[in-house]
């Protein structure tokens, strides 16, 4: 009898984490005076850099009642951009382990393993156990796999997200009333899940003759989607109440965008970030603003075509496809693309299954090698270097 899936996944995950640790050690050796981290930073210093500092600061200093301002009078970067679940769970575990950082890294490691197990369950019914194991290997070794052992909330969010998608697959609606609030206060993106539930409900409605749609399912889809919408706007409301500024959260998020495009409209406009980025990046690359806009249109339609027509993606099931589409729409509406876009794309990790479907071992090993190469490139740029505006995780 073969090993159970969880045991096989544990082996893959541990080996993957050892490889990532080796990459971090190499990045430390290559880190010089010009790096954000200085010469030869420790693994702990690398694990607790960048956004980890903000999560830690939210715990030790709380969320500001008075929004900090720049010399020009705009809202400055502050802790309201970082949701509380991961920060305070890390603090709670950290009291037992001796530091917030220890708690944060252990939670990321454990949640990454849980996400790997949940991802296998999400895919194995659709593409088979073998292909699902390869998808887990791609996920655990992927370009952003360093997130599984640093003080970022992504690992915990992925664990909760994959569990939620699996619950939708199995139509175990009750668990979603717990998972949705936890997701919503861990990382931004729960409004994408609300859109996913709406699209999934429409899909089920049109297929009701071949796939019955009981009233119970309709009630839960509406109920969970409502909870997701409420949770999705709750943090904005909380920030507004605490600071006395209804626009506190959105102004805080726009503070990061200002690092690239400066003060523009001073208010949030859906899709504006991608339009600004198309002009900004293509101008810097010497390709012209028009080329940027054309590329943006091609990107949107190309992504839609892959999700609708690619046979490898269709095999993953409607839940994965609709979630991926919903999340892409969410990013298109709210995000300004820069180097963090790679990290922001991690929630579509179930699409790794599409790369695992071709049965060729040579193909799968090539994908795995490319994933590891991408991981090293990301760690080297974001941690060994991390000294320019396009080297921000």
Residues 138 and 283 grouped into a single domain: no
Mean pLDDT throughout 158-170? 98
Q: Is residue 79 part of a domain?
A: no
Structural domain that includes position 214: 188-265
Mean pLDDT throughout 34-52? 92
Mean pLDDT throughout 184-208? 97
Domain edge (last residue) among 309, 324, 345: 345
Specify the higher pLDDT residue, 72 or 296. 296
Domain edge (last residue) among 231, 265, 299: 265
Q: Is residue 195 part of a domain?
A: yes
Over residues 237-263, the pLDDT tens digits come to: 999 999 999 999 999 999 988 878 776
Residues 253 and 285 grouped into a single domain: no
Phi/psi at 69 (5° precision) = -120, 150
Mean pLDDT throughout 175-199? 98
Residues 102 and 238 grouped into a single domain: no
Q: In the predicted model, is pLDDT for residue 266 greater than 80?
A: no
Residues 6+ apart with CB under 8 A from 314: 321
Residues 140 and 202 grouped into a single domain: no
Residues 203 and 137 grouped into a single domain: no
Residues 11 and 144 grouped into a single domain: yes
- Does the pTM surpass 0.85? The reply is yes
Q: Is residue 77 part of a domain?
A: no
Q: Is residue 254 part of a domain?
A: yes
Q: Give the count of domains, the chain.
A: 3
Residues 95 and 175 grouped into a single domain: yes
Over residues 282-294, the pLDDT tens digits come to: 888 889 889 999 9
Residues 199 and 293 grouped into a single domain: no
Q: Is residue 351 part of a domain?
A: no
Q: Is residue 42 part of a domain?
A: yes
- Residue-averaged pLDDT of the chain: 94
Residues 157 and 51 grouped into a single domain: yes
Residues 50 and 151 grouped into a single domain: yes
Token digits of residue 251? 């102004």
Residues 383 and 254 grouped into a single domain: no
Helix (H) / strand (E) element for 224: namely helix 215-243
> Residue 69 has what DSSP assignment?
B
Q: If pLDDT is split at 50, 70 and 90, which confidence band does 1 have?
A: very low
Q: Is residue 306 part of a domain?
A: yes
Residues 273 and 238 grouped into a single domain: no
Please report the DSSP string for 345-372 in residue order. TGGGGGGHHHHH-S--HHHHHHHHHHHH
Domain edge (last residue) among 245, 265, 285: 265
Mean pLDDT throughout 357-375? 95
Rg (CA), the chain: 21
């Amino acid at each position: 009898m073969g090993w159970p899936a969880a045991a096989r996944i544990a082996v893959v995950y541990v080996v993957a984490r050892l490889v990532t640790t080796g990459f971090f050690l190499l990045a430390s050796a290559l880190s010089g005076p010009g790096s954000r981290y200085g010469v030869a930073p420790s693994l702990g210093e690398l694990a607790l850099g960048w956004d980890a500092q903000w999560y830690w600061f939210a715990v030790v200093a709380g969320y500001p009642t008075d929004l900090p301002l720049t010399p020009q009078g705009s809202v400055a970067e502050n802790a309201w951009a970082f949701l509380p679940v991961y920060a305070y769970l890390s603090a709670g575990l950290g009291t037992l382990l001796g530091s917030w950082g220890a708690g944060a890294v252990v939670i990321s490691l454990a949640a990454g393993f849980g996400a790997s197990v949940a991802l296998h369950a999400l895919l194995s019914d659709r593409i088979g156990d073998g292909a699902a194991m390869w998808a887990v290997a791609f996920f655990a070794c992927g370009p952003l796999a360093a997130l599984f052992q640093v003080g970022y909330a992504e690992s915990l969010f992925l664990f909760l997200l994959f569990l939620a998608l699996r619950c939708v697959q199995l139509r175990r609606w009750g668990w979603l009333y717990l998972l949705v609030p936890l997701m919503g206060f861990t990382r931004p993106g729960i409004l994408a899940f609300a859109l996913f539930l709406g699209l999934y409900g429409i899909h089920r409605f049109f297929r009701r003759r071949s796939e019955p749609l009981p009233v119970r399912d309709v009630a839960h889809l509406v109920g969970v989607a409502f909870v997701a919408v409420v949770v999705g706007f709750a943090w904005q409301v909380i920030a507004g109440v605490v600071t006395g500024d209804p626009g506190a959260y959105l102004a805080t998020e726009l503070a990061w965008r200002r690092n690239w495009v400066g003060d523009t409209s001073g208010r949030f406009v859906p899709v504006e970030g991608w339009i600004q980025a198309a002009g900004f990046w293509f101008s810097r690359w010497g390709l012209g603003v028009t080329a940027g806009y054309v590329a943006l249109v091609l990107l949107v339609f190309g992504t839609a075509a892959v999700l609708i027509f690619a046979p490898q993606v269709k095999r993953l099931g409607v839940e994965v496809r609709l979630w991926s589409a919903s999340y892409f729409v969410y990013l298109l509406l709210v995000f300004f693309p820069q180097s963090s876009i790679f990290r922001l794309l991690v929630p579509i990790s179930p699409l790794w299954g599409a790369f695992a479907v071709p049965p060729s071992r040579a193909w799968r090993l090539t994908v795995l090698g490319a994933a590891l190469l991408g991981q090293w490139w990301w760690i080297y740029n974001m941690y060994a270097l991390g000294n320019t505006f396009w080297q921000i995780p």
